[in-house]
Amino acid sequence: MKILFYLGHPAQFHFSKNIIKELKDRGHEVKVLIKSKDMLEYLVMKEGFQYENIHRGYHKTRTKLHMFFESIYRSVKVVRIASGWKADVLVGTDSSIAQAAFLLNKTALTVLEDDYDVIRNLARLTYPFSTAIVTPEVCNVGRWEKKKISYKGYMKLAYLHPDYFTPELAIVRKYIQSDQYWLVRLVKLSAHHDDGIKGLNLKLVHRIIEKANARGFSIYITSEGELDPSLSAYQLKIDQADIHHVIGFASMLISDSQSMSVEAALLGTPSVRFSGFVGKISVLEELEHVYNLTFGFKINESENLIKCISEIIDTPDRDTFFEDRRQKMLADKIDVTGFFVKLIEEYPISRQCIKRDFSLTVYDYLLTAAKKAGYSFYTFQDYCEGKTKGRYIILRHDVDLKAENSLATAQIEAAHGIRSTYYFRYVPQSNKPHIIREIAALGHEIGYHYEEMSIFNGDEAKAIQFFEKQLAYFREFYPVVTISMHGSPTSKWDNRKLWKTYDYHDYGIIGEPYFDFLNVEKHKNKKIYYFTDTGRMWNGDRFNVRDKMIGGEKNSQKIEVHKTSDLINWLKTTNQYSEIMITTHPQRWTNKLVPWLVELVLQRIKNVIKLNLAKSNYSG
């Protein structure tokens, strides 16, 4: 899979870096786009990522009009790059990702942890074009709730969870010798959503410095902009790649940065924030009021800020106290990196299944997912010869119509190293000699899809003579040893009734699925399961006249799978079943829009007819 990440801020780099590494380790291709923002390019370079900077310059005076045209410029660049590279999934926060993906009909995962009311302008440019909006479960996405995919965690846990990061004192010592220090973070508050928002002022910072000196703490200041000369003696000059180590060993963070306040809380460092954003950001509200790891004060609450600082410093056994709170938080949250890797890998599958189920693309996804879930694939002949073992799927195809579609599925299977069984009828829509030969040449089993009782209205003598003739014919292409009945839903005759008088073993046949696998009496001591796309769905029993297990489902369990995505999820998550047969009718599976639509409409009409036939209980 080809995955394009767009990073517009250092925080987005930190969030993405472990996800990108894991995706690469799993064999995916990843392209990274960035824009010039603070230390972003330096961090990407230091990590060793290959990248392309698509926006190096900005207007000196950034009006809303300038920002609008900059956004259009980035969207055009992303469209061009994503289209040329043929990206499958686009991931990022900027509106350019969502807009580009929308124009290219690609998957756009908009990833953020800001509430809709805080980023209303960005959301209006982004959410309508996003395939999905991925946020912590506490976040509000306004009226776009149907697009929200939530998770029990925070974006910053993708890089600050102890599985991925541990602060190192040796790195801190490159900059700070004191064991007791406060870190002050000042931001410019210049983002599009920062209009009218204020934070720490010079007078208040000096009060904090006085408080630190009086309590025996060193103080260090890091800032996005230039510091006032009166603060220069406290400036922390640091490689920004090391900042999280410094946060992790700090006694406290005092900041007007929402991002760094979250980072400190996740590292167990008590953080006190002073900002007009207080009370407006759900992630920080949860960290404050559920886990008590951060404390927020509005810009008219400076005295409360100073008081809170004193209370934190006076907390007995402070480090252990806040680490216990951190552990409670971590116990409640998931592996965010693992969640995003899985989501990015799987979302195109779900999207394709929703958009156009029963396409060849979806069929390819089905095979890929089953292989990743540990299933081996076998022909029905393999099963009859006792070659199956472990967790396996017998893959079978009934070629009722449109034989050329069967060649397409056979080629996809061959590309996966999978062999399956194709049952051909005698009718011209199925019996295409050149296609039969090509499928056999790919290594697949060829069998006969018999329907003699329906053809001859139950005349067994004529039926068996025709069977012998057709069996000899198909053995010209392949040494046929298995057969499967055609359901013939419009006939009252069940083609399997031929074997009440005759024995197919006498004709060199070693297996028939409905007698030798889909037969409850033969599997009393084990569970088997059968999935068929009859009715153009995976749970179409009510439209199914005869394509069912013999003897009911006593040794199976009813699993509600309707779409192919449901079947994929079941195969990936179940540990109960190891013996499965999947039957498809390849005429249903195509990537061509018009034939796909025709099949959709015709199958709905057929289902109405077959529903009435199923109710009539034809027995033949």
Question: Mean pLDDT throughout 606-619?
Answer: 65
Residue 569: what pLDDT?
A: 80
Pair 416, 533 in one domain: yes
Pair 136, 181 in one domain: no
Pair 179, 270 in one domain: yes
Question: Mean pLDDT throughout 263-275?
Answer: 95
Question: Mean pLDDT throughout 113-131?
Answer: 91
Residue 348 within a domain: no
What are the C-alpha distances in Å from 446 to residues 94, 442, 455?
Answer: 52, 11, 22
The two structure tokens encoding residue 525 = 């001591």
Phi and psi torsions of 452, nearest 5°: -65, -40
pLDDT level of residue 479 (50, 70, 90 thresholds): very high
Residue 339 within a domain: no
Half-sphere exposure of 143 (CA within 13 A, CB side): 3
- End position of a domain, from candidates 298, 332, 366: 332
Residue 189: what pLDDT?
A: 41
Pair 31, 89 in one domain: yes
Contact status, residue 186 vs residue 199, Cβ threshold 8 Å: yes
240 vs 323, which has greater pLDDT?
323
Average pLDDT value over all residues in the chain: 89
- End position of a domain, from candidates 131, 160, 189: 160
Question: Mean pLDDT throughout 441-466?
Answer: 97
Question: For position 438, which CATH number holds?
Answer: 3.20.20.370
Segment (H or E) for 65: helix 64-85
Pair 523, 382 in one domain: yes
- End position of a domain, from candidates 332, 366, 386: 332
Contact status, residue 490 vs residue 504, Cβ threshold 8 Å: no
Question: Mean pLDDT throughout 297-313?
Answer: 93
Residue 155: what pLDDT?
A: 96
What length is written for the chain? 620
What is the distance between the alpha carbons of residues 519 and 552, in angstroms, rounded to a whole number?
8
pLDDT digits 0-9 by tens, 179-212 = 999 999 998 643 444 444 467 888 999 999 999 9
Pair 130, 112 in one domain: yes
The 3-state DSSP class for residue 534 equals coil
What is the distance between the alpha carbons of residues 240 and 157, in angstroms, rounded to a whole number?
18
Q: Is 204 exposed, middle or buried (0-12, 13-18, 19+ CB in 10 A)?
A: middle
What is the distance between the alpha carbons of residues 106 and 86, in angstroms, rounded to a whole number?
9
pLDDT at 556 > cutoff 80: no
Least confident of 212-216, 283-287, 312-316, 536-540: 536-540
pLDDT level of residue 121 (50, 70, 90 thresholds): confident
Angle at 16 between CA 13 and CA 19, to 5 degrees: 155
Residue 615: what pLDDT?
A: 58
Alpha helical stretches, state H, 507-587:
513-516, 564-573
pLDDT digits 0-9 by tens, 576-588 = 667 899 999 999 9
Question: Mean pLDDT throughout 92-104?
Answer: 91
Residue 187 within a domain: yes
Task: Name 291's Cβ contacts closer than 8 Å, sequence gap at least 6.
Answer: 265, 325, 326, 328, 329
pLDDT digits 0-9 by tens, 129-176 = 998 999 999 999 999 998 899 999 999 999 999 999 999 999 999 999
Amino acid symbol at 296: G
Residue 549 within a domain: yes
pLDDT at 573 > cutoff 80: no
Pair 459, 537 in one domain: yes
Pair 266, 366 in one domain: no
Contact status, residue 4 vs residue 91, Cβ threshold 8 Å: yes
Structural domain containing residue 540: 357-616
Pair 6, 85 in one domain: yes
Q: Which of 350, 332, 272 is nearest to 138 (CA)?
A: 332
DSSP state of 153: S
Residue 458 within a domain: yes
Portion of the chain with pLDDT greater than 90, in percent: 68
Residue 383: what pLDDT?
A: 96
Question: Mean pLDDT throughout 308-324?
Answer: 94
What is the distance between the alpha carbons of residues 5 and 384, in angstroms, rounded to a whole number?
49
pLDDT at 496 > cutoff 90: yes
- How distant is the alpha carbon of residue 614 from its chain centre? 38
Pair 272, 326 in one domain: yes
Domain count, the chain: 3
Q: Which residues pair with 222 in a beta bridge?
A: 185
Residue 72: what pLDDT?
A: 82
pLDDT at 305 > cutoff 50: yes
Least confident of 11-25, 65-79, 365-379, 445-459: 65-79
What is the distance between the alpha carbons of residues 12 and 93, in angstroms, rounded to a whole number?
8
Contact status, residue 79 vs residue 33, Cβ threshold 8 Å: no
Pair 311, 368 in one domain: no
Neighbours of 524 (CB within 10 A): 9
Segment (H or E) for 108: strand 107-111
Alpha helical stretches, state H, 127-251:
157-160, 169-172, 202-214, 243-249
Residue 180: what pLDDT?
A: 94
What are the C-alpha distances in Å from 546 to residues 431, 490, 529, 562?
Answer: 22, 11, 16, 19
Residue 343 within a domain: no
Least confident of 243-252, 258-267, 604-613: 604-613
What is the distance between the alpha carbons of residues 556 and 114, in angstroms, rounded to a whole number?
47
Residue 352 within a domain: no
The 3-state DSSP class for residue 269 equals coil
Pair 7, 150 in one domain: yes
Question: For position 209, which CATH number holds?
Answer: 3.40.50.2000
pLDDT level of residue 67 (50, 70, 90 thresholds): low
Q: In what order do the strands lie in the sheet with 132-136?
A: 51-55, 29-35, 2-7, 89-92, 107-111, 132-136, 148-151
Residue 496 within a domain: yes
